[in-house]
Chain A
Amino acid sequence: MVTTTTSPPPKGPDTEARRSKSTARPGDKIFLGLSRGSGITLLVIMAAIAIFLTYRAALAISKDEANFLTTSEWNPAGNPPVFGIAVLAFGTIVSSVIAMIIAVPVAIGIALFISHYAPRKLAAPLAYVVDLLAAVPSIIYGLWGAIFLVPYLDGLNKWLDEYMGWTYIFDKASDGLARNLFTVGILLAIMILPIITNVTREVFLQVPKMHEEAALALGATRWEVIRMSVLPFGRSGIISASMLGLGRALGETMAVAVVLSPSFVISGHLLDPGGGTFAQNIASKFNEANEFGRDALIASGLVLFAITLLVNGAARWIIARRKEYSGAAA
């Protein structure tokens, strides 16, 4: 076969040329260009979000007659315009912290239940149910929260006020329905349970069987196995899962907008109606805002964006670090 060809056997530079020709097929070039272009598009979108929000926010903040960070008033339509995010930052952080305090232990419990306690046959369907919980739209949580949860929590609020009122935070100073930061925190906890549970459960399932069996062989009870081998292994997973949940809670809009009766007051009395969060304030004030007012809302959205970026980035960083660590160990 080789002898029949008339052309001389290809030499060094010639093969070089041929190979570069073969990889430079137009189809390949176009396809690589398209897929790389899509990746770059994603980066551009993220950059554009940061740039344009900052630009519009700068327009608003430059005309703000008060300190944007420490003012607890929102009146961009006033003369002079005065607005600040103190109340929003307070409300966002307080409601998210309440949500985390409730959701993290419960989520760990559910994750343990699915990974270590539930009967084998039940585990898969249960994980599926948790997934479904995550799929319920937030507006429906809001509707349920406002119509069903709020009246129910009224009773709990009265009870807390009566017996725990001395703690100051549970002192209900003013009357009114339970449309307060405490209720919002509980609702947010229910909403972020699935994501924390899912990530934590996956980490728990990765615990090396050897660790657990070694503990069992030493005579450990099931709880001791979990405490000595599962929880230490899953600690970074739990932390990053919690931070992902925190990111979700910080940015939640509609459920909070529906449940909370907002006011621009910072109050340590969690059971008093009032307060507000970044996202809720944007949704509630948007319709009545003129263009400048919208810029002011964008400014508050930028702060929210920055906070969630930090929280999520940190969570991802912890996950990535753990991946390296466990990869090295394997």
Chain B
Amino acid sequence: MSHAIQDRPVQTAVRHDPLRHARLPRWSPLAIAAGSIAAGVGLGLAAGWHSRIQWGLLAALFFVLGTYAVTAKVEGSRQAKDRVATSLVWVCFILAVIPLLSLAWVTISKGLETLDPYFLSHSMNGVLDAEVGGGIYHALLGTIEQVLLATLIAAPIGLLTAVYLVEYGRGKLAQAVTFFVDVMTGVPSIVAGLFILATWNLMLGFGPSGFAGAMALAILMMPVVVRSTEEMLKLVPNELREASLALGVPKWRTILKVVLPTAIGGITTGVMLAVARITGETAPVLLLVFGTKLINENPFEGAQASLPLYVYEQYAVGTDAAISRAWAAALVLIAFVMILNLVARGIARWKAPKTGR
């Protein structure tokens, strides 16, 4: 095997077969990788760097340079650029995976230290900041109520808007709605919160409540529901609509009984993904729901707690006990959101064949 490197001269290869470039043997990337890791670790040890990541960076740098040099020598500069591009793309990917893994690992390992049934079933009533104990029952309750209310407001409006855009929408109004749905997707969550604050709280004079937060969350949720439902309705084959209309079924019944049931899997997925998105929103809740240590079952009156807000509050308190509570709550929140995501995608996959053919 190793003779490929030894009699490297390009001329020999060209002489044997003029249509073929000299190629590096298949194991060469591995060899270069091993060499550069060894060099990175060696230099890191020699220079006394503590950070393993610095060793890794150095090794990656050696790898890219080494690949370029060796390939340029044997295969030519075009191939060398190609190989460097490949390794850069890999580096990009690994760069993205590192923070994800780190975030997942830190949240799970720190969250599990505090998470237990007691934590899930008790509120923070009477628990001092520095004291161990307390829980997130009140926050879980608040989040679920707020998200349910927001869904009750946003899902029908979003669904009907999507129906309008796909089934009826022609002309200026539909264009305007399409454009503003897109723009609405980009409204920062804090701005939605400020809007409800300006109207509901400052002008109409209501105090903080779960419902106020739910309205802001609904504003954030609507465009997401519209977008996903629209995509799903567009997938429903036109033949189904035409067959139904040809049987004399009114258009509204066609939509309710034929179009929507056909797309229901995708629509459910879209709504659940939207719910997952607003569950983690903290900013509007901070402005409108305010947070409390007590259990408040009524979302229409008085400050409520909320899971993401709880994480923020406990972090702001800053004592060791509070920080570990924050991690545990963060774990519950992330698990909640991820389960919603997985179930939503599961439904999409399970229901998918129906819309297919």
Residues of chain A touching chain B, judged by Cβ–Cβ distance below 8 Å, are 25, 27-28, 30-32, 34-43, 45-46, 48-49, 52-53, 55-56, 105-106, 108-110, 112-113, 117-118, 126, 128-133, 135-144, 146-148, 155, 190, 193, 197, 221-224, 226, 244, 247-248, 250-254, 257-258, 279, 282-283, 286, 291, 294-295, 297-298, 301, 304-305, 308-309, 311-313, 315-316
Report the minimum CB–CB distance from A128 to chain B (whole Å): 8
Q: Which residue of the partner chain, among A28, A113, A133, A147, contacts B252 with CB atoms under 8 Å?
A: A28
Q: How far is the CA of A135 from the CA of B86 in the complex (A)?
A: 28
Stretch with Cβ within 8 A of A (4 or more), from B4-12, B40-48, B123-131, B166-174:
B166-174
Asked whether B231 is an interface residue with its Cβ less than 8 Å from the other chain, the reply is: no
Stretch with Cβ within 8 A of A (4 or more), from B24-32, B113-121, B153-161:
B153-161
Asked whether B297 is an interface residue with its Cβ less than 8 Å from the other chain, the reply is: no
Report the minimum CB–CB distance from A74 to chain B (whole Å): 16
Most chain B CB inside 10 Å of its own CB: which residue of A31, A193, A308: A31
Q: Which residues of A contact B223 (CB under 8 A)?
A: 42
Asked if residues B334 and A137 are in contact (CB atoms below 8 Å), the reply is: yes
Residue of B nearest to A22 (CB): B250
Q: Which residues of B contact A139 (CB under 8 A)?
A: 280, 282, 308, 311-312, 330, 333
Q: What are 9 of the A-B contact pairs (CB < 8 Å)?
A: A28-B250, A43-B180, A46-B183, A139-B308, A143-B330, A222-B85, A244-B186, A305-B187, A313-B183
Q: Which residues of A contact B95 (CB under 8 A)?
A: 106
> Given A30-B252, A137-B280, A146-B315, are A305 and B341 neighbors across the interface (CB < 8 Å)?
no
A-B contact number at CB 8 A: 260
Q: How far is the CA of A140 from the CA of B202 in the complex (A)?
A: 30
> Given A38-B160, A301-B191, are A294 and B334 neighbors across the interface (CB < 8 Å)?
no
Asked if residues B337 and A135 are in contact (CB atoms below 8 Å), the reply is: yes
Asked whether B38 is an interface residue with its Cβ less than 8 Å from the other chain, the reply is: no
Which B134-190 residues have C-beta < 8 A from chain A? 156-161, 163-165, 167-169, 173-174, 176-177, 179-190
Asked if residues B78 and A221 are in contact (CB atoms below 8 Å), the reply is: yes
Q: How far is the CA of A128 from the CA of B160 in the complex (A)?
A: 29
Asked if residues A27 and B253 are in contact (CB atoms below 8 Å), the reply is: yes
Report the minimum CB–CB distance from A228 to chain B (whole Å): 12
Asked whether B222 is an interface residue with its Cβ less than 8 Å from the other chain, the reply is: yes
Residue of B nearest to A56 (CB): B198
| B192-236 interface bits toward A, Cβ cutoff 8 Å, 1 = contact, 0 = none | 101101110011000000000000000100110010000000000
Q: Which residues of B contact A46 (CB under 8 A)?
A: 180, 183-184
Q: Which residue of the partner chain, among B96, B195, B277, B311, contacts A110 with CB atoms under 8 Å?
A: B96
Q: How far is the CA of A142 from the CA of B286 in the complex (A)?
A: 15
Residues of chain B touching chain A, judged by Cβ–Cβ distance below 8 Å, are 51, 78-79, 81-82, 85-86, 88-93, 95-96, 99-100, 102-103, 106-107, 156-161, 163-165, 167-169, 173-174, 176-177, 179-192, 194-195, 197-199, 202-203, 219, 222-223, 226, 250-253, 255-256, 273, 276-277, 279-283, 286-287, 308, 311-312, 315, 323, 326-327, 330, 333-334, 337-338, 341, 345
Q: Which residue of the partner chain, among A148, A253, A316, contacts B188 with CB atoms under 8 Å?
A: A253
Residue of A nearest to B312 (CB): A139
Asked if residues A148 and B106 are in contact (CB atoms below 8 Å), the reply is: yes
Q: How far is the CA of A279 from the CA of B187 in the complex (A)?
A: 12
> Given A32-B168, A132-B338, A223-B82, are A106 and B96 neighbors across the interface (CB < 8 Å)?
yes
Report the minimum CB–CB distance from B291 to chain A (whole Å): 10
> Given A137-B337, A140-B334, are A283 and B107 neighbors across the interface (CB < 8 Å)?
no
Report the minimum CB–CB distance from B43 to chain A (whole Å): 16
Q: Which residues of B contact A133 (CB under 8 A)?
A: 96, 100
> Given A31-B252, A106-B95, are A49 and B330 neighbors across the interface (CB < 8 Å)?
no
> Given A148-B102, A301-B191, are A39 and B311 neighbors across the interface (CB < 8 Å)?
no
Q: How far is the CA of A51 from the CA of B7 in the complex (A)?
A: 77
Residue of B nearest to A248 (CB): B186
Asked if residues B161 and A42 are in contact (CB atoms below 8 Å), the reply is: yes
> Given A28-B250, A129-B100, A253-B283, are A308 and B86 neighbors across the interface (CB < 8 Å)?
no
Q: Which residues of A contact B106 (CB under 8 A)?
A: 144, 147-148
Report the minimum CB–CB distance from B348 to chain A (whole Å): 11
Asked if residues A43 and B177 are in contact (CB atoms below 8 Å), the reply is: yes
Q: How far is the CA of A110 from the CA of B256 in the complex (A)?
A: 41
> Given A35-B167, A224-B78, are A140 and B250 neighbors across the interface (CB < 8 Å)?
no
Q: How far is the CA of A304 from the CA of B311 in the complex (A)?
A: 25
Further 12 A-B residue pairs, CB within 8 A, beyond A25-B250, A109-B92, A130-B96: A32-B168, A38-B156, A42-B161, A53-B198, A118-B93, A139-B282, A140-B107, A140-B330, A251-B189, A279-B188, A282-B194, A305-B191
Q: Which residues of A contact B179 (CB under 8 A)?
A: 316
Q: Which residues of A contact B311 (CB under 8 A)?
A: 139-140, 143
Q: Which residues of A contact B99 (CB under 8 A)?
A: 190
Q: Which residues of B contact A37 (CB under 8 A)?
A: 160
Report the minimum CB–CB distance from B183 to chain A (whole Å): 5
Q: How far is the CA of A32 from the CA of B173 in the complex (A)?
A: 13
